[in-house]
Amino acid sequence: MTSNSLPRCCIIGAGMSGIVAAKSLSERGVPFDWFEMSDRIGGVWAFDNPNGRSAAYRSLHIDTSKGQLEFSDFPMPAETPYYPHHTQVLAYLQSYVNHFGLSGKVRLNTEVAEAKRDDQGTWNIRLGDGQTFSYDALLVCNGHHWDARWPDPAYPGHFDGVQIHAHSYRDPFTPFDFRNQRVLVVGMGNSAMDIASELSPRHIAEKLFVSTRRGQHIFPRFLFGKPADKGKLYPWLPLALQRTVGRIVYRLAVGRMEDYGIPKPDHRVFEAHGTTSDTFPSYVAAGDITIRGGIRQLDGDGIVFEDGKREKIDAIVWATGYRISFPFFDHTFISAPNNRLPLFKRIIKPGIPNLFFIGLAQPSVTLFAIAEHQAKWIAAYLAGEYVLPSVEEQTTTIVADEKRHMSRYYKSARHTMQLDQDIYFAELDRELVRGRKRARALGFNSARPPIPRRAEVEIPQAAE
């Protein structure tokens, strides 16, 4: 295979998704330039990342077990604990980059300020220093856990105390000393539960409240001595049967949320994105965390909740999720209002065949495996082995796929990109087989790829 005819590509971001993208293109001999705005790789897993986009807090452990987390061709070290700390996840990514010879390919301290597609389909990329380069394809790997979403519209009233988003939280003393404070955490996602559990002991917060509009089914990290992985205990069972068995096991092993003092969920187990915590239910049951309903209004030195109760509050941690955004795109070209961006196979926007999104999904288990599968699929396409179906078929498929993957979840911004992982992998594999047949029928291959090579520019050098 020769790279002379293959499309020249641009990869934005050197977090986990950008790393697997670079590795997959390298394996296929697809030429690419790779830009990362920070001075290091790792994205969200680089604690206190200078680019300001890491939401990792000091105590963070990933909620997916190492067996599900590791890439298919690079196992995690045997001594890695079942649920690695963020420093161990970053070390694993760094080892992966070094092992596959990728460290010299990324250009660090380089922001992509603007990405525009011209009438011929060529991507014109302007860097933060004003340099411009042209590419035949663009791979977007900028992540979706960095643009903090605050309540919108804002709650009525005003609050006199300290307010931070969970994205800024690092530990009980940073960026605010929470000791001896009356703290409200808003939300019931994984970050909310971790932060609330960390602040709730009596030697930290004076009193810890959690505000939530609905209850959640909370998974422990282990069931029957094995990693639970949000209910993925029996992967050999058909998915529908997995859910049925999982609900029975959950009820027997965990019980009812209301027995801990947590609001009864208004949905069944597996009808929401999984939340994992070994400690949160116990802290609620012990009285160290007090659950309150939704917020009615801010009230100076306190908060009034929907049931009319008022609590004096010194500090609020808004664990209210993230917005999907792309600062390098004109919002009239690509945007995700209400966190919704319909994509063919969660990768391609119909009508733009040389723009790819990697990791823009909310998986049932782990984004690592999702990104790896997506990157390999894209690399096969760029190498001339795959051809897309028609735009009409892509659009029809999006509707069917969203119904298949999202219909069982309650409507929420956190479920606009939801994927059932095993189903998704099978779908990608089947589509790859169909696309290979299309490629052979149309005569596409590495010498004549579906995305033609047009961009001929000097390749910017990676920083040492």
CATH number of domain containing 220: 3.50.50.60
Among the residues of 237-351, which ranges form H helices?
A: 239-253, 280-286
Domain range for 287: 150-316
Q: Are residues 154 and 213 in the same domain?
A: yes
Q: Are residues 162 and 36 in the same domain?
A: no
For residue 58, what are its two tokens? 């000091």
For residue 218, give the 3-state DSSP assignment.
Answer: strand
Q: Are residues 138 and 60 in the same domain?
A: yes
Please identify which residue in the block is written with the tokens 């791979």: 139
Closest listed residue to residue 183, CA positions, set 200, 171, 169: 200
Q: Are residues 328 and 259 in the same domain?
A: no
Q: Are residues 89 and 192 in the same domain?
A: no
401 in a domain, yes or no? yes
Q: Are residues 124 and 159 in the same domain?
A: no
Q: Are residues 99 and 158 in the same domain?
A: no
Strands in 238-358 per DSSP E: 275-276, 289-292, 295-300, 302-305, 310-312, 315-318, 322-323, 355-357
451 in a domain, yes or no? no
Element housing 431 (H / E): helix 421-442
1 in a domain, yes or no? no
Q: Are residues 301 and 326 in the same domain?
A: no
For residue 12, what are its two tokens? 């934005």
Q: For the chain, 464 residues long, give each residue's pLDDT as a single digit of tens.
A: 445 799 999 999 999 999 999 999 999 999 999 999 999 999 999 999 999 999 999 999 999 999 999 999 999 999 999 999 999 999 999 999 999 999 999 999 999 999 999 999 999 999 999 999 999 999 999 999 999 999 988 999 999 999 999 999 999 999 999 999 999 999 999 999 999 999 999 999 999 999 999 999 999 999 888 888 755 555 556 667 777 887 888 898 899 999 999 999 999 888 787 789 999 999 999 999 999 999 999 999 999 999 999 999 999 999 999 999 999 999 999 999 988 999 999 999 999 999 999 999 988 788 999 999 999 999 999 999 999 999 999 999 999 998 888 777 777 767 788 888 888 999 999 999 999 999 999 999 999 999 999 865 444 444 43
| pTM given for the model | 0.93
Domain count, the chain: 2
356 in a domain, yes or no? yes
Alpha-carbon distance of 404 to 82, in angstroms, equals 31
195 in a domain, yes or no? yes
Residue 43, amino acid: G
Alpha-carbon distance of 54 to 70, in angstroms, equals 20
End position of a domain, from candidates 316, 343, 377: 316
Closest listed residue to residue 218, CA positions, set 297, 295, 285, 123: 285
φ/ψ (deg, to 5) at 363: -80, 160
End position of a domain, from candidates 316, 342, 375: 316
453 in a domain, yes or no? no
Q: Are residues 106 and 140 in the same domain?
A: yes
For residue 117, what are its two tokens? 């597609």
SS (H, E, C) 79-108: CCCCCCEHHHHHHHHHHHHHHCCCCCCEEC
Q: Are residues 302 and 365 in the same domain?
A: no
Q: Are residues 437 and 397 in the same domain?
A: yes
Q: Are residues 131 and 266 in the same domain?
A: no
End position of a domain, from candidates 301, 316, 331: 316
464 in a domain, yes or no? no
461 in a domain, yes or no? no
